[in-house]
Amino acid sequence: MIEKTGVPTRTQILKEFPDLIVLKKPKAIIECYKDIPCNPCDTSCPFDAIHVPQDINQRPQINFDKCTGCGVCVYHCPGLAITVRQIKADKAILKIPYEFVPLPQKDAIVKVLDRSGKHLTDGLIKQVRINESQDKTAIITIEIEAKHIIEAMTIEVPYGS
Amino acid sequence: MHKEVIIIGAGPAGLTAASQLLKIGVEVMLIDRNDLVGGQLTKQTHMFFGSEKQHASKRGIDILTMLDEKLKQYPNKLTVFTQTTVVGLYNDKVVTCIKDDRYFKLSADAIIIATGASEKSLPFENNDLPGVYAAGAVQTLMNVYGVKPGHKVLMVGSGNIGLIVSYQLMQAGVHVVGLVEAADHISGYLVHASKIKRLGVDLWMNTSVKKAIGVDSVEAVEIWQLDDQWQGIPGTEKQLEVDTICIAVGLAPLTELLQQIGAEVVYIRELGGNVPRVNKHYETSINNVFACGDVTGIEEASSAMIAGEITGIETALKLGYHVPNHTAKLTQLHCDLDTLRQGPHGSKIRQGIAKLGVQL
Ligand SMILES: Cc1cc2nc3c(=O)[nH]c(=O)nc-3n(C[C@H](O)[C@H](O)[C@H](O)COP(=O)(O)OP(=O)(O)OC[C@H]3O[C@@H](n4cnc5c(N)ncnc54)[C@H](O)[C@@H]3O)c2cc1C
Ligand code: SF4
Ligand code: SF4
């Protein structure tokens, strides 16, 4: 249970995904599972694809038709709860927020983790993007096998363990 | 020295109150015991929640810079005393302070208490060993002074502070061995919990610290499971090798000064402990003494900033200043506060305010 472990159930996760066919184009997947008073996802989206109801505590809703997968909401979300996902043939492309240093290098092979921190697979870093407007949150683009599109969540960070 | 208004505490509440007063044309003296103004904001390197209106998605430290810039527009009306601790508060609006071992008095027509809160401690064997830190101290070490508190940390408490500080420790390269929580569920925002869990930090519910182990400093910690009365269950003890235990079990309002001056204080658990009984103008039971921010109930920087604006306007009105459109402004600010307090995470504060019996 997410209230005890921090990990959502598969049913909860699947509810946030569109039909996989829709992911031929990149789309934002929002995993904000509980009502909190927050709305930067809504106000940051340049395409008006995310809507937080009048009561700012309610969960954000996404309109996949309007979402272009641009990734602006990914670095505006203080909960790091948004990723952009796309299926390209037998590969899945993920854009994830990343706030650790050093940043991974393009073309590096990294460990890809699931929502419980387990090593799921290895991935290839396709792009590392950070600029002034992103306010210190980098966007990392990783390529993995398509079958991991749902389970993959982040990459291993360089912290001393 | 005498000024129209003295504000004690330069956190988000004190700073926004100051900026409203200065805008209206009131002279302000701002006093804080820290080296820098900003209160809790000086340590918040993470992006804030809340509505864009209250600067959500910006980092705490950057919000501080913005507030500070606003104050700089009024050099002639504002006096700031940092590294200055207020030790006494008297009914004739006299404040006694200590700065660099020097003791002096200031006075004002009105006083705003915005002293925020202090961290609660947790009783366990050896909790005075070096290596046992309050979460706020850990944040100050890392984010203000750039010093790591240790290499392997156990976090105690799953409120937003425990969750956020865990993440910041990891960003600083520290290994967070795990997080224990006495309750049966995570008490902070789940998005913060998921952020550390996906990087491999386990969160153990119904669990607490039994004792710290070590000779000169923490070398290990023994944790155990709790029953539903929050009593440790013998036989469930587990030892973890850590050099730091970080305590994040909540905050309590800093009301000593208010008690000193004889302002009415009530105990309201939902608000974090003893809080001053304020009316809807944020005035305490003592004439011309106001209070706002975490000292009136543990909440958020976003709400502290709105409460500070309200208190600034109310104080100016009380001193007889003309504030254009004040009714509309105050209504809007109260409405913004209500919005922030809706939803499940606002329920505690709503219950607390209901017990206080005013429209805050
Ligand atoms: C880890 C952490 C994360 C947080 N994250 C968020 C978030 O994402 N969003 C959000 O909205 N809020 C967040 N908060 C909460 C927010 O920081 C506080 O609610 C807010 O700072 C309260 O503001 P304040 O002005 O009332 O008090 P404070 O910020 O505590 O300021 C009080 C000031 O008063 C001074 N003071 C006290 N006593 C005296 C005295 N006797 N003499 C002189 N000076 C004195 C103190 O030194 C301090 O500077 C977080 C808090 C923490 C600890
Ligand atoms: S990815 Fe871009 S278009 Fe899609 S929701 Fe986020 S900000 Fe909007
Ligand atoms: S910005 Fe992130 S945390 Fe805030 S409501 Fe949107 S998805 Fe949730």
Ligand 1 atom nearest residue B307's Cα: 26
pLDDT at B346: 85
Return d(Cα A123, Cα B13) in angstroms, integer. 46
Residue A37: both structure tokens together: 């008073």
In a domain, A103, yes or no: yes
Instruction: List the one residue out of A133, A117, A38, A131 whose CA is nearest residue A77.
Output: A38
Q: Is the pLDDT of residue B278 over 90?
A: yes
The CA distance from B170 to the nearest CA of chain A, in Å, is 6
What does the alpha-carbon distance between residue A158 and residue B7 come to, in Å, rounded to a whole number?
44
SS3 category, A98: strand
Name the superfamily (CATH) of residues B2-118+251-356.
Answer: FAD/NAD(P)-binding domain (3.50.50.60)
Q: Which residues of B touch A160 (CB under 8 A)?
A: 151, 173-175
Sort residue B34 into left (φ over 0), alpha (ψ -120 to 50) or beta. beta
Q: What is the predicted pLDDT for the residue at B31? A: 97
Q: How far A32 CA sits from the closest chain B CA (Å)?
A: 6
Domain at B125-247, CATH homologous superfamily: FAD/NAD(P)-binding domain (3.50.50.60)
Q: Of A91-100, B45-54, B314-323, which gets the smallest average pLDDT? A: B45-54
Q: Which chain B residues touch A if contact means CB-CB below 8 Å?
A: 46-52, 56-59, 62, 151, 170-171, 173-175, 184-186, 189-201, 203, 205, 302, 339-346
Residue B316 has pLDDT above 80, yes or no: yes
Residue A116 with chain B: CB contacts under 8 Å: 197-198
So what's the pLDDT on residue A110? 96
- How many CA atoms within 13 Å lie on the side-chain side of B140? 11
Distance A39 CA to ligand 3 centre (A): 6
pLDDT, mean of residues A110-121: 97
Closest ligand, as measured to the CA of B134: 1
Q: Does A58 contact B at CB distance below 8 Å?
A: yes
A33 interface with B at CB cutoff 8 Å: yes
pLDDT tens for residues B222-271? 999 999 899 999 999 999 999 999 999 999 999 999 999 999 999 999 99
Long-range Cβ pairs for the range A13-18 (8 Å, 24+): A13/A115, A13/A150, A14/A150, A17/A150, A18/A64
What does residue B125 show for φ and ψ, rounded to 5 degrees? -60, 135
Q: Which residue puts its alpha carbon closest to atom 8 of ligand 1?
A: B48
Give the model's pLDDT for residue A99: 94
Sheet holding B220-225, edge to edge: B207-213, B220-225, B238-240
CA distance B265 to B276: 4
Among A146-150, B63-67, B125-129, which is the least confidently predicted range? B63-67
- Give B141: exposed, middle or buried? Use CB within 10 Å, 0-12, 13-18, 19+: middle
pLDDT of residue A161: 41
3-state secondary structure of A77: coil
B344-354 pLDDT per residue, tens: 778 889 999 99
Which residue blocks in B108-266 are alpha helix, DSSP H?
Answer: 135-139, 160-171, 190-197, 256-260
pLDDT at B344: 77
Per the DSSP assignment, residues forming a β-bridge with A87 are A92
3-class DSSP state of B342: coil
The verdict on residue A35 lying in a domain is yes
**Residue B54: pLDDT band by 50, 70, 90 thresholds?**
low
Residues 6+ apart with CB under 8 A from A78: A38, A40, B46, B47, B48, B49, B56, B57, B191
Helix, strand, or coil (residue B42):
helix
Torsion region of B50: left, alpha or beta (phi above 0 gives left; psi -120 to 50 gives alpha): left
pLDDT at B73 over 80: yes
CB pair distance less than 8 Å for A136 and B340 = no
Percent of chain B with pLDDT over 90: 81
Would you say residue B56 has pLDDT above 70? no
Looking at residue B111, its pLDDT comes to 98
Inter-residue contact B149 to B133 (CB < 8 Å): yes
pLDDT band of B311, cuts 50, 70, 90: very high
Measured CA to CA, the distance from residue B244 to residue B169 in angstroms comes to 11
Strand B94-99 to strand B84-90: parallel, antiparallel, or no bridges (unpaired)? antiparallel
Q: How far apart are CA B98 and CA A74, in angstroms?
A: 47
Q: Which amino acid is at B294?
A: D
| Number of Cβ atoms within 10 Å of the Cβ of A74 | 26
Q: For the ranges A95-109, A142-156, B221-235, B342-356, which has the lowest average pLDDT?
A: B342-356
Provide the domain limits for residue A88: 2-156
Planar angle of CA B307, B134, B266, nearest 5 degrees: 45
Nearest CA owner, ligand 3 atom 3: A79
Residue A161 forms part of a structural domain: no
Q: What ranges do the domains of chain B cover?
A: 2-118+251-356, 125-247
Number of domains forming the structure of chain A: 1
What count of other Cβ atoms lies within 10 Å of the Cβ of residue B130?
Answer: 12
Residue B233: other Cβ atoms inside 10 A: 12
Contact A159 B51 (CB under 8 A): no
H helices of chain B, in order, are 12-24, 60-72, 135-139, 160-171, 190-197, 256-260, 301-318, 326-340, 347-356
Is the backbone of residue B85 left (phi > 0), alpha (psi -120 to 50) or beta?
beta
> Which residues, including other chains, have CB under 8 Å from residue B101's CB and lie 6 or more apart?
none
Over 70: is that where the pLDDT of B277 sits? yes
Task: Provide the pLDDT for residue A160.
Answer: 47
Q: What is the mean pLDDT of chain B?
A: 93
Rounded to an integer, the average pLDDT of B30-57 is 80
Of B46, B198, B205, nearest to A4 by CB-CB distance is: B205
Mean pLDDT, residues B157-162 taken together: 96
**A160 and B173: CB-CB below 8 Å?**
yes
- pLDDT attached to residue B65: 86
Assess A99–B contact: CB distance below 8 Å, yes or no: yes
* CB within 8 Å of A31: residues ≥ 6 apart: A8, A13, A16, A81, A82, A83, B191, B194
Task: Compute CA distances B308 → A36, B294, B295, whole Å.
Answer: 22, 10, 12
> pLDDT grade, residue B359 (50/70/90)?
confident
pLDDT (tens digit, 9 = 90+) per residue, B106-127?
999 999 999 999 999 999 999 9
**Residue A136: its pLDDT value, please?**
82
Least confident of B45-49, B177-181, B266-270: B45-49
